[in-house]
Amino acid sequence: MNVTCPQCSTIFRVDPAKVPEQGVRARCSVCSGLIAVRRPPVAAPVLAPAPEPPVALAAPEPRPRVVEAPIPVVVAAPSPPPPAPVVQPVAIVAPANPPSPEPAPVLPPVVVAPAPPSRFNNPFLQQDPATRARRLARALVSDLVVYYPEKRQRGLAEGNLKELFGEEIRKSWEEYTEQVGQEIATTTPYFTEALNEILAEGRALFG
């Protein structure tokens, strides 16, 4: 079952079998607040009522013969009231050494794994800036080849590849500069090398 800290709203997973019936208080490992942990209520099974046994009808008894006779009236004396109960005082003795409360167990918080980053928002987090910039440049130029294959073949055949992809290259360069920074984008040849190797098929058309 899940238990939520009332102070920092951290969610914990608790095994119901380890929680006593009277409940237990635990301490949050995030904000050190106290959490009251109780077992979830268990619904009692509904039992169908047992069928009532059949009632046997007895044969009617013959009526006795009634003889009219005077009935004497007897007036009984009132019975005395019952004596009042005697209440004995009970002395409550406090224990000499009251047991000390057990320390509340600390529950570990539920760790939620973050969603994986997108390719362009935060690429190659574990790599150095130069390697990350080189791979991002090649990824952006490879997208141009995938999205415009016919346009690329026509530009290679007619020799105007740079003019045909002028607008697409400008947008890719802006995204590349935004991701790696102005300094790395202008002082390294990674984006130009990716254009010549991937888009131009190894020809030095971009400089």
Per-residue pLDDT of the chain (207 residues; tens, 9 = 90+): 788 888 888 888 888 888 887 788 888 888 888 888 887 776 655 555 556 655 555 555 556 554 454 444 444 455 566 666 554 544 544 445 555 556 655 655 544 444 444 444 454 444 699 999 999 999 999 999 999 999 999 999 999 999 999 999 999 999 999 999 999 999 999 999 999 999 999 999 998
Residue 92, token pair as written in the block: 């409550």
Phi-psi region of 96 (alpha: psi -120 to 50; beta: other; left: phi over 0): alpha
pLDDT at position 39: 76
pLDDT at position 13: 86
Residue 123, token pair as written in the block: 């690429």
pLDDT at position 107: 58
Tell me how crowded residue 196 is: count the other CB atoms within 10 A of its CB.
17
What pTM value is reported for the model?
0.41
pLDDT at position 30: 86
pLDDT at position 74: 42
Query: What is the Cα Rg of the chain in Å?
Result: 46
